[in-house]
Amino acid sequence: MKKSLIALAFGTLALGMSEFVMMGILPDIARGVGVSIPEAGHLISAYALGVCAGAPLMVLVARRRPLKHILLALVCIIIAGNLCAAASPNYWTLMAMRFVSGLPHGAFFGAGSIVAERVADEGRRTEAVSIMIVGMTVANLFGVPLGTYIASALTWRVTFCIVAVWGAVALLLVRLWVPRLDPLPDTGLKGQFRFLRRTAPWLILLSVMCGNGGIFCWYSYVSPLMVRTSGFAPDRLTLIVMLAGFGMFLGNILGGHLSDRFTPERVVRFTLAAACAGLVGIFFFAQIRCVSLALMTICTAALFCVSSPQQLLILENSRGSELMGGALVQVAFNLGNALGAYFGGLPIDRGLGYEYSALPGAGFTFVGFLLVALYIRRFPRRAVQ
């Protein structure tokens, strides 16, 4: 395995912990800064807004710089954002620091995907991107449970410090192991968005938003579903979350390997179809513990099985603007996250069971499947090589 890909994976691990650890430490933060848990939940939204704002902003500012320099600058922002979050004296300062922490997220994935594609061996481009993304899955498998435990045993501030330390490790590895690559051709400000004049990138971005958003309709409420619908004891949630993280890890590896063998768009189409079926299954069979666990693992595997092929597809369809294209995938992912949490919560707000969150999820995921099917029909593989 190339050292440069390992360095990129350490960077996405820091990003994954920074983004997802909030799910487990919200009660601790709420007590620490004197707000309610729903108010503390806005800190998750602040990070997502940072991703959406930072992706195009960082690309426009740094587009003329060498890719390695861009990565180093972005990791420095990760470190600074989490250190300042750890030292935040009040809720509003913490809110601002969560926004800052989200700024480098999309741009790192954009620049990192280009580096991974360039250093990949022949015929293994998607697998190289999946190795970079594996850090996000490891964050869910180990980093988030660890951060949650530390926040409860010590303080949530130490959790953010650990993310910053991990970012410092990523900074060192990127500096040592990522080769110096020439800057991308400067196509100007307008040129960064020129690829959006075509239909193909929009089909990809919309499929990312709908497909991943559909899974988040259900995954946003997986903990109460497992306790109140499937009947697991609350003290089993840590193991359940780790199993979900294992599904993400396995799905990411399979997605990269299978995409290089069967083409990225076909893997995305099949995976979204499987996710849609899994969500329908959760609605009908969530009361059966073993079935609920199996379907959870399938759906979380699907969530990351599509990540690397979607990242490669947008790179193929944004030549000349790859940095912006790769960053906008993360914008679409986070918009899907936000929409999924909202629409998945609607039936719950109306007094229905938590398994009903899977129904709008299945609808969104099916739309994502249709968009990919349309992409395959209109833009066959030879057209993007």
- Looking at residue 1, its pLDDT comes to 62
Position 15 scores a pLDDT of 92
| Distance, CA of 358 to CA of 218 (rounded, Å) | 5
The mean of the pLDDT values for the chain is 88
Average pLDDT (356-372) is: 96
**pLDDT tens digit sequence for 37-95:** 667 877 887 888 888 888 788 777 777 788 899 999 999 999 999 999 999 999 999 99
This prediction has a pTM of 0.83
* pLDDT over 70, % of the chain: 97
- In sequence order, the 6+-apart residues with CB closer than 8 A to the CB of 307 are 130, 133, 136, 252, 255
Q: pLDDT band at residue 103, thresholds of 50, 70 and 90?
A: very high
pLDDT on residue 384: 47
Per-residue model confidence (pLDDT) at position 117: 84
Select from 260, 125, 253, 207 the least CA-distant residue to 379: 207
**Highest mean pLDDT pick, 63-77, 247-261, 276-290, 371-385:** 276-290
What are the boundaries of each domain within the chain? 1-184, 187-385
Mean pLDDT of 203-231: 91
Res. 385 pLDDT band, cuts 50 70 90: very low
CA distance 85 to 161: 9
Task: Tell me whether the CATH fold assigned to 1-184 matches the one assigned to 187-385.
Answer: yes
Question: Which pLDDT score is estimated for 288?
Answer: 95
Q: Residues of the chain with pLDDT > 90: what percent? A: 49
Distance (Å, whole) CA 320 – CA 254: 29
**In which band, very low, low, confident or very high, does the pLDDT at 204 lie, cut at 50, 70 and 90?**
very high
* pLDDT score of 304 more than 50: yes
- Residue 382 — pLDDT band, cuts 50, 70, 90? low
Residues 6+ apart with CB under 8 A from 325: 110, 195, 201, 314, 315, 317, 318
More confident residue, 59 or 371: 371
What pLDDT, on a 0 to 100 scale, did the predictor assign at position 224?
84
- Residue-wise pLDDT for 265-289, tens only, equals 999 999 999 999 999 999 999 999 9
Separation between Cα atoms, residue 96 and residue 81, nearest integer Å: 9
Residue 109, pLDDT score: 86
Phi-psi domain of 380 (left: phi exceeds 0; alpha: psi -120 through 50; beta: other)? beta
Distance CA 225, CA 222 (A): 5
Q: Between 31 and 360, where is the model more confident?
A: 360
Could you tell me which CATH class the domain 187-385 is placed in? mainly alpha
Tens digit of each residue's pLDDT (9 = 90 or more) over 122-175:
778 888 888 998 888 888 888 878 887 888 888 999 999 999 999 999 999 999
DSSP category for residue 140? I
Please tell me the least confidently modeled range out of 7-21, 162-176, 353-367: 7-21
pLDDT higher than 70, residue 238: yes
Name the superfamily (CATH) of residues 1-184: MFS general substrate transporter like domains (1.20.1250.20)
Indicate the pLDDT class of residue 313, thresholds 50, 70 and 90: very high
Q: Which of 76-85, 153-162, 251-260, 339-348 has the lowest mean pLDDT?
A: 339-348
